[in-house]
Copies of this chain bind each other. A is one copy, B any other.
Amino acid sequence: MTRQKPRILARRLAARSGIFRVEAVDLEFANGERRTFERILGGTDSVMIVPVDADDNLLLAREYAAGSDDYQLGFPKGVVDAGEEIHAAAGRELREEVGLAAARLETVHRVSVVPGYIQHGTRIVLARDLHPDPLPGDEPEPVEVVPWPLADGDGLLARPDFTEARSIAALFLVQRFLARERRAAGGA
């Protein structure tokens, strides 16, 4: 079924803070139904990097999350700067947060977060062939880097601080990507 998108009757700025702008949108659906929806503007695209080291460990970042007011374990991530190429952004964030550069970067998938409320895409980027090459970042305190065996996804999922849907999706997507790669290489 191909549906006619709702028609936008009016748009106005409903609120603005230091980093968020909220827009109210008056919509008319194809069936004539009218609703006002709110959405957050200016969602910039981001990258989430899944670094895998030579010992088949995932490298995770443990950082303070203001929304949940606790420390969250997840894959390093960051905003793609204006005009910046995806893998350049991934490589930069990896150097800033984990202190490693990657000779091999591959985009595994693109995901969105809450598309009902925000226009945003996150590219999941697998990073391999790592070597130390730190870059100063803008983090308020040094990021705690937590290595985790790639083979122990179940243990990672059981951790109470590994909850973000993007990180969970990234874990499974990278496992699938690597399993396909192994099959393509004839199980080698």
Residues of A within 8 A of B (CB): 1, 3, 5-6, 14-20, 22, 24-25, 27, 29-31, 33-40, 43, 62-72, 109-122, 140-141, 144, 157, 163-166, 168-169, 172-173
- Give A14 to B17 CA distance when docked, in angstroms: 5
Judging by beta carbons under 8 Å apart, are A20 and B15 in contact? Answer: yes
The distance from the CB of A134 to the nearest CB of chain B, in whole angstroms, is 17
Contact of A67 among B6, B17, B39 (CB under 8 A): B39
* B-chain residues with CB within 8 Å of residue A17 when the two chains form the complex: 14-15, 22, 24, 38
The distance from the CB of A183 to the nearest CB of chain B, in whole angstroms, is 13
Report which residue of A3, A112, A116, A166 has the largest number of chain B beta carbons within 10 angstroms of its beta carbon.
Answer: A112
* B-chain residues with CB within 8 Å of residue A117 when the two chains form the complex: 66-67
- Give A157 to B173 CA distance when docked, in angstroms: 10
- Give A36 to B19 CA distance when docked, in angstroms: 11
Judging by beta carbons under 8 Å apart, are A164 and B112 in contact? Answer: yes
* B-chain residues with CB within 8 Å of residue A40 when the two chains form the complex: 20, 67
Q: Which residue of B lies closest to A31 (CB)?
A: B141
- Give A117 to B77 CA distance when docked, in angstroms: 14
- Give A19 to B140 CA distance when docked, in angstroms: 30
The distance from the CB of A118 to the nearest CB of chain B, in whole angstroms, is 4
